[in-house]
Structure 1
Amino acid sequence: MRAAFDALGPWMNEPMGPEDTAADADATLATSRRLRAVFISDLHLGTPGCQAEALLDFLKHHPSDHLYLVGDIVDGWQLRRRWFWPQAHNDVVQKLLRRARKGCRVVFVPGNHDEFARAFIGHSFGGIEVMADAVHTTADGRTLWVTHGDHFDGVIQCAKWLAYLGDNLYEFTLKLNRHLNTLRARIGLPYWSLSAYLKGKVKTALNYVTDFEEAVASEARRRGHDGVVCGHIHRAEMREIGGTLYCNDGDWVESHTALVEHLDGRLELLQWPAVHSANTPRATMEATA
């Protein structure tokens, strides 16, 4: 997968073209929605489950001064098994590079699925900084530790083969879910997530999520930070744990969620619709801080 990362080279120095003019127009239209920071993770580019079009639409409508890519941006695990890279995934990469070129600070914190990029920590590609983790200071003075979170996953640390098995089962669930929702759409029913339903019903899954959240928050507190921003478990959440703000920005496979910081330092979880039009308002999750 290092070779795959090197293959991004031609995009890193891509000259300005018509798409940049379009991007400038998009930025002008979105000025009223400008944010101080955007945190996204678990895009899983390179898999059929990646909702690249929804992500591109979200980025178009939410320019920011800082953009944090909080791991699992490219799914190296799946690409090793089967190559899948449609044009929309190219468009996402080019959009991120364009953000950096236009003056946004873009930080990439690799996760377990794109762990090959950890070999490039400390380097910058096309203006995108690759870091093991990061610290973001909000406009109101809070420090947030930014980490993907896989180091707090006991399955990955102690039994990676089990993590690979779980990943394959998750991919199967997503495939089944796509067929199920195609049928639901034909009869006029809204999108429904099978994997989210299973996570919410299986007691061991609930215990895993709780243990993960508490472990990540505890480490942020030990490091002296006010909060933590992570991804990994595909479950958007914002709450205080032991006096430490825990923020998970969710994913772009099913939930279409991002954590954003407004210009005044207020944090908010946003959920973006799969199909968006000019008359469709954004969906806002309840959690704000």
Structure 2
Amino acid sequence: MAKREVDIVIISDVHLGTYGCHPKELLKYLKSIKPKILVLNGDIIDIWQFSKSYWPETHMKVVRRILKFVTEGVPVYYLTGNHDEMLRKFADFNLGTFQLLNKLVLNVDGKKAWIFHGDVFDVTMQHSKWLAKLGAIGYDTLILINSFTNWFLTKMGRPKMSFSQKVKARFKDAVKFINQFEQTAADLAVNKGYDYVICGHIHHAEIRTIQSTENTGSVLYLNSGDWVESLSALEYHNKEWKIFNYRPDDFNTEADEDDKTDAEDLDAKLDVNILLERFKQESH
């Protein structure tokens, strides 16, 4: 099956290492595309909730697929988020076409795109990190319960439902937070003279033009959503931004043969021991 060519792909909030993650769906998506640039915009690995007792092979396959892009010469930018914030002390680490950064400015057909995770705008993150971590555990539990509920609904021939989306819809504060988040990002981007501001963090995929609060200009605000609920990504191709939404019917449900060869290919092209040694050197 021919891979779909895309100039830039941006994904965020994958939360590998948690029960709410959808690694199989993400893997199918990554296998279906041929990006010129891949941006991982934070919370890819959920270090907050990481447990040695829960790291399924499907999660490792996603990591291998991302590393395969690196071995193929595709620029891969890993931008740190709040759930993988411990990686921030290693910012500016690079290996070949892989770069670990806190934020990124990309030239996109002559326009400047300012890309970062977005947790810097979250008041809870700044002042009550313990509360944010507690909320993350509660969210993951809600998603786990939701998955069991949807399994039963599917067996009964009824449509699936999203608990968290219903909760957000019921509380005006959640909508207000999202609006404030987007406006704050837009205001800063306008002040800095950027054409695009691209975030993750709030698990809400969006593309819309936002006027600055002081009416000094406007910027195109974009958010890649997440791979916990919305299963979405941002794609840029033929000078146009689009939100990709995963739909099972668009993908072959059978396992691809290249699953069996990914590990061997990486062993041949990327010496993991060298990678670890380089990482240790950069951390000192």
With the length of structure 1 as denominator, give the TM-score of the two structures. Answer: 0.82
1:70 matched to 2:41: yes
Q: Within the alignment, does 1:258 sit opposite 2:233 as a pair?
A: yes
TM-superposed deviation, 1:37: 0.3
C-alpha offsets along residues 23-62 of structure 1, whole Å, 9 cap, x if unaligned?
A: xxx6xx11xx201000000000001111001101111111
CA deviation vs aligned residue, 1:99-131 (integer Å, no higher than 9, x gap): 011121100001000011111111114642001
Pairwise CA distance, 1:224: 1.2
Shifted more, 69-78 versus 130-139: the winner is 130-139
Letter in 2 for 1:101: T
CA contact (8 A) 2:19 2:140 kept: no
Mapped partners of 2:94, 2:149: distance in 1:
42
Distance between the aligned counterparts of 2:142 and 2:249, measured in 1?
22
Name the aligned partner's letter for residue 136 of structure 1: L
Residue 260 (structure 2) aligns with:
none
Matched, 1:79 2:54: no
Could you tell me which residue of structure 1 aligns to residue 243 of structure 2? Answer: 269
Assess if the C-alpha contact under 8 Å between 1:65 and 1:103 holds in 2: no
1:173 equivalent among 139, 142, 147: 142
2:76 corresponds to 1:106:
yes
Are the aligned partners of 1:256 and 1:274 in contact in 2 as well (CA < 8 Å)?
Answer: no
Figure out how many residues of one structure are paired with residues of the other and give that number.
247
Instruction: Map 1:1-289 onto structure 2 (within 5 A).
Output: 29-30=2-3, 33-79=4-50, 83-125=53-95, 127-139=97-109, 141-242=110-211, 243-262=218-237, 264-274=238-248, 276-278=250-252
Paired letter, 2:224: D
Q: CA deviation at 1:143?
A: 1.3
State the alpha-carbon separation in 2 of the partners of residues 136 and 276 from structure 1.
30
User: Per-residue deviation at 1:155?
Assistant: 0.7
Q: Distance in 2 between matches of 1:241 and 1:60?
A: 33
| 8 A Cα contact 1:44 1:253, kept in partner | yes
Cα shift at 1:277: 3.1
Residues 38 and 75 in structure 2, CA contact (< 8 A), matched pair in contact too: yes
Which residue number corresponds to residue 280 of structure 2? none
The code of the aligned residue for 1:129 comes to: Q
Take 1:247 and 1:186, find their aligned partners in 2: how far apart are those partners? 36
Q: Could you tell me how far apart the structure 2 residues matched to 1:229 and 1:189 are?
A: 36
List structure 1 segments (4+ residues) > 4 angstroms apart after TM superposition. Answer: none
Mapped to 1, the partners of 2:14 and 2:230 lie a distance apart of 11
Structure 1 residues not aligned, in runs of 5+: 1-25, 280-289
TM-score for the superposition, normalised by structure 2: 0.83
CA contact 2:28–2:251 (8 Å) conserved in 1? no
Letter in 2 for 1:257: S
For structure 2, the residue ranges without an aligned partner over 5 or more in a row are 212-217, 254-284
Q: For the Cα contact (< 8 Å) 2:25–2:246, is it kept in 1? A: yes
Amino acid at match of 1:255: S
RMSD: 1.6
Q: CA deviation at 1:276?
A: 4.7
